[in-house]
Amino acid sequence: MKNFEIPIIYRSPLISAIKNRRKQQDKMKKDFTPTLLDLGDLRIYLARHFGFCYGVENAIEISFRTIDENPGKRIFLLSEMIHNPQVNADLQSRGIRFLQDTHGKQLIDFANLTKDDIVIIPAFGTTLEIEKRLQDIGIPTEKYDTTCPFVEKVWNRSAQIAQKDYTIVVHGKPGHEETRATFSHAAAATPTVVVKDMKEARLLAEYIKGTTTPDSFYTTFKGQYSEGFDIQKDLARIGVVNQTTMLASDTQAIADFLKQTMIETHGLTPDTVETRFADTRDTLCYATLDNQSAVIGLLDTPADLAIVVGGYNSSNTSHLVELCEERMPTYFISSEEKIRSPQEILHYNFHKRQEERTQDWLSTKKAPLRILISSGASCPDALVEAVIRKLAGYYNATRTVETLVTTFAG
């Protein structure tokens, strides 16, 4: 796999040494057991896979290279490069300006752009409508397009099944940049509808079976279906694709459920199921799946609490938090700065969409205290190391961290 030029500020000697060691020991990536960092009275278990994925590293490399190669030019990002506040702040400090916020709200009018400007497409991709607007101005989008290859894979698969007259069902968060982009690409070729969870999939199934009044569809799924969607005929043949950062198990469950709905509704057999339901299992992102599988493996380890590091608006990170919350107290933090002391931590409640303060969260008297740690696909390894060092400081184990770097690198 390609090695990317990532700014050194995002790298971590400790995490790099650990990841390289695990890669040598498990080249096929079949072992999802965590890595133990024994710091005496503190034991930290790191997930087998976490941090920057291929698509994120690709986007960061292109963005920083674009800045270096175009001194004096106005450079814009369509929206957040990735869902990590540090990376986005670093890009802004280098002069890049955002045209939209993460929800698609316009911050700088496209009318202010000229053909001499550079606009970088973020890793989530963008809609066909926005691509056309930029091209009409005379701004080329191909050279500075950082769309993740695995997002493009979903688009390509959607196009393939669209040619066979399947309607696309997108499992994703309707307001998310990636889902908006995938919806746009799919809807250009075939009727498309977005379902955000199993609850909405079950509602959709009622329309497939004809047990719910058709006209109510347009209210229930308002803003989530393509123009001209005909509930009477556009659910006769379907295929499910996903926002790549959703829980893979949730996407598979929704696909399996809708497949079974089609089988029961149309009396299909294993040999005839593809006449109504397209096989799209190959659209699941390997990095999302690896990170989620690693957290599931991590949770097999008895522990006192879990910490997940990442941007608060990161979909893939929130799903890692969701997995951990089912088993133990879990703290979702954006950086080590959120750890104020052993007595106080600021952490994000993604259910309420707000940061909360918890007291007496860390017991320095219990020995050993066992903490599980993972991070999202847009989180720099340097942040994970900073969290480890912050925790180690409470247990007088800073020197031990330095020893671990040498141990794993040796």
For residue range 100-139, what is the model confidence (pLDDT) as tens digits? 998 899 999 999 999 999 999 999 999 999 999 999 999 9
CATH of domain 8-53+287-409: 3.40.1010.20
Structure tokens at 66: 């674009």
Structure tokens at 123: 């890793």
Report the CATH fold assignment for 54-137: Rossmann fold (3.40.50)
What 3-state DSSP class applies to 195?
strand
| Catalytic-labelled residue, pool 80, 131, 178, 200 | 178
Residue whose C-alpha is closest to residue 150's, from 30, 50, 255, 53: 53
What 3-state DSSP class applies to 389?
helix
What's the pLDDT at 199?
98
Q: One-letter amino acid identity for 265?
A: T
Q: Which residues contact 161 (CB under 8 A, 6 or more apart)?
A: 168, 190, 239, 278, 280
> CA–CA distance from 253 to each of 202, 291, 357 (Å)?
11, 18, 35
Q: Verify whether residue 178 is a known catalytic residue.
A: yes
Q: Please state the domain extents for the chain.
A: 8-53+287-409, 54-137, 149-284
Instruction: State if pTM tops 0.95.
Output: no
Low-confidence ranges of the chain (pLDDT < 70): 1, 282
What's the pLDDT at 280?
86
DSSP class of residue 363?
-
Report whether the peptide linkage leading into residue 174 is cis, meaning its omega lies within 30 degrees of zero: no
What's the pLDDT at 58?
94
What's the pLDDT at 119?
98
Report the CATH fold assignment for 149-284: Cobalt-precorrin-4 Transmethylase; domain 1 (3.40.1010)
What's the pLDDT at 1?
62
Query: How many Å apart are CA 86 and CA 78, to the nearest integer?
Result: 17
Asked if domains 8-53+287-409 and 54-137 share a fold, the reply is: no
What sign results for the dihedral spanned by CA atoms 323, 325, 330, 331? positive
CB distance 21 to 46 below 8 Å:
no
Residue whose C-alpha is closest to residue 178's, from 119, 267, 245, 115: 245
What 3-state DSSP class applies to 250?
helix
Distance of alpha carbon 93 from the chain centroid: 24
Q: One-letter amino acid identity for 403?
A: T
